Amino acid sequence: MTVPESLTMKTVVRGLVLTWLLFWPLDGQAAGANGRTLVVVPGVGVGPPADINGFNPLLISSVFDEQAANLLFAPLLWINRHLHVDYALSVARAITVGPHHRSYTILLKKHWLWSNGTPVTARDVAYTYDLILRLKHRFANYGTGGIPTEVASFTVINPHTIRIITRRPVNPLWFELNGLSLLVPLPAQSWRNTSVARLYDTLTDVAFFRTVDGPFHLQSFRPGRYATFTANKAYSGPDKPYFQRLVFRFLQSPESVFFALRSKRIQIGNLPMSLYRGRHQLTDFRAYPVGPVWGFNYIGFNYANPRITFLRDVSVRQAIMHAISQRLLIQVLYHGHGLRDYGPIPPRPATFLSPKAQALDKRGAYDPRLARRLLREAGWHRGPRGIRRKNGRKLAFTLYLPPGDVRGPILIKDLLARVGIDMRLQEKPFNEIVAETEDPHNARWQAVALAWGLSPYPSTGNIFACGAANNDYHYCNSVLDKRLRALTHPGDLAAMYRYEDDFTSRQPVIVLPAYPIIVEAARDLKGLRRALSPLGGFNPEFLRWRHPHAHKTARRAKRP
């Protein structure tokens, strides 16, 4: 499980060949050939690379697509790294909450414009809300933050004022951070006559996304290769993009990102932990740790699969939790850069972390003797090769994992085998994993290793509530449902504490350690702290060259 101090010659040659194939010039121009072009990969500051599959913010479900869509459409509410609304960067300029926590009046800025010069108005926000109603559960965040499930009325008062009345008093922090933040204004003037079917057909249609109000335009898209953006000169935000051209390269493994960085074909990318000891080879880059990302890493189960009904037993899931040494994972996989995590609330910042959760994160839950006892008491006894059996059935399941992310699962597989659990591993492309797990009729897959990005107010009703829009795991527990509903009521953090403590005891998914992403960025780039958010955001409009004239000189010198 150790990483070699230096890369072997075979690995280097293979990496250089892959890099040459992957970075054939874009549209006749070498990537990064001038000082105003920035080349990156999807998932910067979040995780391993993956392709972008869509740009409509209401029809996407991956953080990779979300990073791209956020370049095109400005948020109604900009949520910063401190989990507060930053009105300087939001389309909204203020929200007034009524005395009984049922009335929310949203005031929009009057100067915010679409790229065609027309103003962004309340009608655009109303169009977004109406589209969510039409999409229903096809909208990945349907019900998140009470949108639209807790809305009694949505009224356009005037071109720059909206009033929303909720069905009952709701927690304003929850409703604003998780719900109202979903109402990204969309160009009603351009999209109003578009059917839902047509919206799906145009997910990557460059011409369809011509009207935008974010910092960038979509210039070109090549499936499996790249997406290219250009600066939106009409952008109304306070930070105009410095880079005139932004390229997202689609790479298929963390290792290919490393070689792309080393050959300077990309300017920003995540350092693979598997090549952490080779970071000294990136001489023209500097490391920037991000996070841990606001979310959690986990092993999730398909409770609808009849072959793994044993995982519905909380004792089996508790045994899995106690069999995994998170301290070992952090040391071996993340070189000591990580935090233990056992629940749905990230350990940092500790804003919403219960006292019990803080104590558990500190001492850890690793106890293989307890894991063995729990399994014995549940009727699982050692069989051939040490794998436990009950009523003729093996305690075994198959885990899907994205390519290039095998080191952690291999270590977990070994730890589980020590207590008699057989976890088999199967690599699949990320997009195939998403497609299988999101299919509500697919009862074949068994387990998956993924990460979940949280809403700013960290309730997870949209993934763990019975029948929720993102409950791809078919998990349902009435007590946990009650805890989740309590998060939406006005009150203090007591409800949050009860929810996370109940979650930790049940382990509907097995939560794994939180760890920072080490982003490698060209040494001359500045603005990384603002551009990279632990909430999973990537905002390249904040980036600049530290010494722009040097890049201009280099560009002129290359001209014939």
Q: Do the beta carbons of residue 213 and residue 91 sit within 8 Å?
A: yes
Domain boundaries, the chain: 9-64+201-291+517-558, 92-185, 295-512
Distance CA 73, CA 96 (A): 24
Angle between helices 314-323 and 368-377 (to 10 degrees): 160
Beta bridge partners, 188, equal: none
Nearest to 536 by CA among 296, 303, 271: 296
Maximum alpha-carbon separation in the chain: 77
Fold of 9-64+201-291+517-558: D-Maltodextrin-Binding Protein; domain 2 (3.40.190)
The dihedral sign for the CA sequence 538, 548, 246, 71: positive
The pLDDT value recorded for residue 549 is 53
Q: Tokens for 17, please give them.
A: 């060949």
The pLDDT value recorded for residue 254 is 87
**Counting Cβ atoms within 10 Å, is residue 107 exposed (0-12), middle (13-18) or buried (19+)?**
middle
**Strand 422-427, strand 285-290: pairing:** unpaired
What residues contact residue 238 under an 8 Å CB cut-off, 6+ apart? 88, 89
Nearest to 148 by CA among 162, 134, 163, 129: 129
Give per-residue pLDDT as tens, 269-291: 999 888 888 999 999 999 998 88
Distance CA 477, CA 499 (A): 12
Could you tell me the pTM of the whole model? 0.78
Q: Tokens for 132, please give them.
A: 């969510």
Q: Write the CATH number of the domain with boundaries 295-512.
A: 3.10.105.10
Q: Around Cβ 362, how many Cβ atoms within 10 Å?
A: 10
Which stretches in the chain have pLDDT values below 50? Answer: 1-34, 550, 552-560
Q: Around Cβ 55, how many Cβ atoms within 10 Å?
A: 26
Q: Around Cβ 19, how many Cβ atoms within 10 Å?
A: 19
Identity at 343, one-letter amino acid code: G
The pLDDT value recorded for residue 551 is 52
The yes-or-no answer to whether 9-64+201-291+517-558 and 295-512 have a common fold is no
Element (H or E) spanning 431, and its range? helix 430-438
First to last CA, the chain: 50
Return the CATH class of domain 92-185: alpha beta
Omega into 513 within 30° of 0, i.e. cis?
no
Omega into 349 within 30° of 0, i.e. cis?
yes
Q: Do the beta carbons of residue 510 and residue 451 sit within 8 Å?
A: no
Distance CA 333, CA 277 (A): 12
Distance CA 555, CA 106 (A): 47
Give per-residue pLDDT as tens, 53-88: 999 999 987 889 999 999 999 999 999 988 899 999
Q: Mark residue 162 as left, alpha or beta (left: phi above 0; alpha: psi -120 to 50; beta: remaining).
A: beta
Distance CA 509, CA 437 (A): 14
